[in-house]
Amino acid sequence: MLPLIVRRGWGLVLVLLSVSTVAFVVLRFTGDPVQMMLPPEQTTPEQVARLRHLLGLDKPVWVQYADFVGNLATGNLGESYRYAAPVTPLVLARVPATLELAGAAIAVAVAVGVPLGVLSAVRKDSVLDVLVSSASFLGIAVPVFWLGPVLILLFAVRVHWLPTSGIGTWQQLVLPAVSLGTYPLAQLARLVRSEVLDVLSEDFVRTARSKGLGERAVLTRHVLRKASLSIVTLIGLNVGVLMGGAIITETIFAWPGIGRLVVQAISFRDFPLAQGAVVYIALITVTANFLVDLSYGLLDPRVKST
């Protein structure tokens, strides 16, 4: 386990370095932050030059990059242009909101998707199975930027059951979590159905049944246990998708998370803030995939953590 963690940790450093380099390079092409911050008709060239100097944007790009990487190595992500404050606390202040949203979305997906998939497989070709399969198909096709507004229309505008936006109470979490969770929910239901169908025909299931084990025990102890590997993999793969979906969901529901922060930072050409937020998003994605890899060994002892 320990060598694995060391090697993966090294890989993580490389990925983070590359991701921040890509962010650095791409952002430099998006425009001039100084022009965004100073209205051209009211400023003198001297003021522009002074601000450019203050932000360090008058240095050659490669010096800026060297400074950036040097600071990154010490955990310093620089200062936001817009907020004139260090980036790290600004980003960290937003991380919990995004984790809360993504966690709630995954919880919705697992709590609804897994039982639906199991039921669908156990009662294959029943009315329920057809309903679940069709619904999960629609769930994959429904874009979050449609589902979000429609849910707001139905549950916040027409009937005033839930608030349209904001953060803090559980009522405010429901609509964003359902919007963001629908896609992984539908995927999970489909995956669990096909996995359970596969596993149900295996020899060890017949053995378990023939020794008199109840159907419920067969399902929970044998079938789901075997299927859990794929379930966990899918959740891990979805973390990247969730972070992308979170950008849109947070915009729709005015959710103060890291996705909304990064979109605002990019549009404002706030280079340090955008770079910092991207680094944290990549960190969350890569860490989630790492945890998924680690959990394989726990779920299936045959998987050697090599």
Partner 1 sequence: MASPAQRRSAPSVDRGLRVLGRRLTLRAALGLVLVSTFVAVAISAPWLAPRAPDGQDITQRLAPPRYDGAGATGYVLGSDQLGRDVLSRIIYGARISLVVSALATLGAAAAGTVLGVFSGFYGGPADQVLMRIVDVQMAFPYLLLAIAFMLVVPPSIPDIAIVLAISGWVVYARIMRINALALREREFVAAARAIGARNRRILARHIVPNLVPTITVLATTQIAQFIVAEAALSFLGLGLPPGVPSWGNLMNEGRQYLDSAWWMEVFPGCAIIVATAGVGLLGDWLRDILDPHLRI
What is the rounded distance in angstroms from the CA atom of residue 289 to the CA atom of residue 291? 5
Residues 113-142 that bind partner 1 (CB under 8 A): 137-138, 140-142
Query: Is the Cβ of residue 208 or residue 269 nearer to partner 1 in the bound state?
Result: 269
- In this structure, which amino acid lies at residue 234? L
- Site for partner 1 contains 146 (CB under 8 A): yes
E-strand stretches of 176-297: none
Please, are residues 191 and 279 in contact by the beta-carbon 8 Å criterion? no
Near partner 1 by CB under 8 A, which window of 26-34, 118-126, 197-205, 296-304? 26-34
Cα of first residue to Cα of last residue in the chain, in angstroms, is 8
- Site for partner 1 contains 19 (CB under 8 A): yes
Query: Is the Cβ of residue 142 or residue 294 nearer to partner 1 in the bound state?
Result: 142
Say which DSSP state 85 is in.
S
> Least distance to partner 1 from the beta carbon of 29, Å?
5
Q: In the numeric block, which tokens belong to residue 101?
A: 């949203």
Please, are residues 144 and 250 in contact by the beta-carbon 8 Å criterion? no
x-marked contacts with partner 1 along 182-221 as a string, rule CB under 8 A: ----------------------------------------
- Site for partner 1 contains 175 (CB under 8 A): no
x-marked contacts with partner 1 along 230-249 as a string, rule CB under 8 A: ----------x--xx--xx-
Near partner 1 by CB under 8 A, which window of 22-30, 84-92, 102-110, 219-227? 22-30
For residue 291, give the nearest of 103, 148, 109 by alpha carbon: 103
For residue 221, give the nearest of 208, 207, 206 by alpha carbon: 208
Q: Where are the alpha helices (DSSP H) in 142-169?
A: 144-152
For residue 258, give the nearest of 269, 234, 242, 238 by alpha carbon: 242
x-marked contacts with partner 1 along 279-298 as a string, rule CB under 8 A: --xx--xx------------
Query: Is the Cβ of residue 83 or residue 268 nearer to partner 1 in the bound state?
Result: 268
> Least distance to partner 1 from the beta carbon of 214, Å?
32
- Distances in Å between the Cα of 214 and the Cα atoms of 191, 194, 208, 218, 221 are 24, 22, 9, 6, 10
Residues at the interface with partner 1 (CB under 8 A): 11, 14-15, 18-19, 22-23, 26-27, 29-31, 137-138, 140-143, 145-146, 149-150, 152-153, 157, 240, 243-244, 247-248, 251-252, 262-263, 266-267, 278, 281-282, 285-286
